[in-house]
Amino acid sequence: MPPVRVATNLPDKDVPANFEERLTDILADSMNKPRNRIAIEVMAGQRITHGASRNPVAVIKVESIGALSADDNIRHTQKITQFCQDTLKLPKDKVIITYFDLQPIHVGFNGTTVAAATM
């Protein structure tokens, strides 16, 4: 269940209405996860600086149970960065992504943890 948070200092009007759905499709493909397990949160209009500059930037946090490794993260980063370049008009050096590999015991969903649900 990858929860993904996209924070940007771009105003909400500059984020396409279908941004979440399109990013869901990209991540589902790249991570080999079902679409209905991916949660996207977009926080536009945030006060974010990068390099002491207020130029447009996106800071993205991807959490997942598995589907994250050195090679996987390069692939994910390339796809997410290209998507942000195309949709948000950000240069690739203004798309910052962090990855967190979660343990199933630390993810709650559908009234239980993922670990308990798969027992």
- The string of pLDDT tens digits covering residues 46-78 is 999 999 999 999 999 999 999 999 999 999 999
Q: Give the per-residue pLDDT at 119.
A: 77
| Ranges of the chain with pLDDT below 70 | none
Q: Which of 84, 79, 82 is nearest to 58 (CA)?
A: 84
Angle at 62 between CA 86 and CA 8, to 5 degrees: 50
Q: Give the per-residue pLDDT at 65.
A: 96
Map out the domains of the chain with their CATH numbers: 3-116 (3.30.429.10)
- Between the CA atoms of 101, 103, 104 and 105, what dihedral angle is there, to the nearest 10 degrees? -150
Query: What whole-number distance in Å separates Cα of residue 83 and Cα of residue 4?
Result: 14
Beta-carbon contacts of 24 under 8 Å, excluding residues fewer than 6 positions away, are 35, 38, 40
Q: Give the per-residue pLDDT at 118.
A: 84
